[in-house]
Amino acid sequence: MAALRRYRTVVSDSALWADFPFRAGDVVVSPPAKCGTTWMQMMCALLIFDKTEFDRPLTEISPWLDATTYDTAATLATLGSQQHRRFIKTHTPLDGLPFREDVTYLCVGRDPRDVMLSFENATANIHPDAMPPAGLDMQPPPPDQLDRFWLWANSDLVDDTSSFGVTLANLVNHVRTFWDRRDEPQVGLFHYADLKADLPGELRRLAQLLSIEVSDERIEELAAAATFDHMRGRADDLAPGVDAKLWRSNENFFRSGTSGQWRRLLDPVALDRYHRRVAELAPPDVADWLHRP
């Protein structure tokens, strides 16, 4: 077995997965940041519990195992006490996770340009008392948004504690680790655009992947609870980090859920430059899939 690649950011360390006691049937929810992690956690919760209301916040039901901003011992104790089928959050690519045939691994990809703008909105919503961690020496971003875009696009892969690890290179690398194993029966690769276009259909695909039997009528009922507007209305229960008071506004974590806002930022010359950079990082099939309409 190949050694696991270690991924670190200012808020996570994949080494925390090394000795995790998996159970058969566990589900690992591992999209890149701002690609639909909470959405996929909600879809798993709806199917696993066959409910639309839960008795505690989603972040407690599906904790972020390798987050260094939480008490790891407490997280492991929570997961150890759970009697239901567990579904565990991470932002670690597949080559940094222990891979077992009796565990399901889920990823969601998204147009990287939308990811960059979504991350900007999220960082603007972080409460000043919450992030970054005390003592961290992070360089302030450029004041101009287009300059920030090129810094994100041109940065190399980050796997240390110098940043949040949200770069174009990190996103492409993350998706490629799933793309290369997408045909394996315990790997599920979803796209944000497909979730927006046909949420019941994608929920049905997830149910099949998890071997959960559910009627078409029930799929429609469950999908209604996973729409963006419905989740935004339940932000205090569904947004990550609510227990740590991470956000200025929990509701604004679900800011818009729209795609294509990058069109206001990138003119044709900038788009050409962007696609040249993507071609340096991703083979054509992965690039085409990521940028599907």
* Strand 8-9 relative to strand 187-191, pairing: unpaired
Yes or no: say if 287 and 278 are a contact pair by the CB < 8 Å rule. yes
Rg (the chain; Cα; Å): 18
The residue type at 154:
N
Yes or no: say if 26 and 85 are a contact pair by the CB < 8 Å rule. yes
Yes or no: say if 241 and 59 are a contact pair by the CB < 8 Å rule. yes
* Beta strand residue intervals within the chain, DSSP E: 8-9, 12-13, 27-29, 87-89, 104-109, 187-191
* Tokens found for residue 19: 């000795």
Known catalytic residues are 91
Backbone angles phi, psi at 109, to 5 degrees: -100, 165
CA distance linking residue 97 with residue 116, whole number of Å: 25
